[in-house]
Amino acid sequence: MRYLTVGALVLCLASAAGAQESPRADLFAGYSLVHAEGENLHGVEVALAYHFSGLLAAVLDLDWHTHTVEGVDHTTSAVLGGLRATFGRGTARPFVHALAGAVRDEDSIGVFEQTISETHTDFGGAAGGGLDVGGSKLAVRAQVDYRLAPQVQPDGSKKTHGDPRFSIGVVFRFGTR
C-alpha cells in the first residue's frame, strides 16, 4: 500500500511538472518558401499563438513572399488565423494546424520609370504541420503547409490553386500554463 501511495504521488508530481512546461503563448519568426507555378518565392513568416491548453492554441499567421521573373515582380502575402493542436510537452513537439484568412497576390512591372501593377485579394487558407524542437523558452521550428487561394486566370475567371509553403525559424515561448 505504501508503494502504491508513493507511486501515485510521483505520478501526480510528474504530471504537474509537465503541465508547467506548456507555454501560454509563442512567437515564431523565420524564413519561408512558397513553390508556386514552378517558381520559388522567398520570404518571411511570423506567427503568434495563444495556448488555451497544452493541446489547443489560436494562431495568427502573417507571411510575405516575392520573386522576379522576366522583369515582372510577383509578391504574395497572407494574413491567416486558425487553430493549432500541439502534441507532447517534451523537447520535440509536433503540431498540426488549419488556418483561413486573406491572401493577396500582386504582379508589377516597371516601364519607363512608371510601375504598372495588378493586385488581387481573396479568401484563402493553409493546412499543415511541423515540429518544434527545443527548451521551454526557445525552440527551432520546421513546418510544411499547403496554401490554398484563388488565382485570376487570363480570361478574368478565378481558379483555386494550392502551393506548398516550407518554413524554418525560431520559436520564442512566453509564460506557463
pLDDT at 94 (0 to 100): 96
CA atoms within 13 A on the CB side of 103: 19
Closest alpha carbon to 29 in 56, 48, 10, 3: 48
- How far apart are alpha carbons 175 and 29 in whole angstroms? 18
Helical (H) or strand (E) element with 30: strand 25-36
Q: What is the pLDDT of residues 37-72, one digit of tens each?
A: 888 999 999 999 999 998 999 999 999 999 998 888
pLDDT at 37 (0 to 100): 80
Buried b (16+ CB within 10 A) or exposed e, 124-152: bbbebbbebeeeeeebebebebebbbbbe
Q: Which domains does the chain have, with CATH numbers?
A: 2-174 (2.40.160.20)
* Mean pLDDT of all residues in 115-134: 92
This prediction has a pTM of 0.81
- How far apart are alpha carbons 98 and 168 in whole angstroms? 18
Closest alpha carbon to 18 in 89, 94, 91, 93: 89
Provide, rounded to the nearest whole percent, the portion of the chain with pLDDT above 70: 88
Closest alpha carbon to 126 in 66, 170, 61: 61
Phi/psi for 97 (5° steps) reads: -145, 160
Q: Indicate the pLDDT class of residue 167, thresholds 50, 70 and 90.
A: very high
- Mapped onto helix, strand or coil, the DSSP state of residue 18 is helix
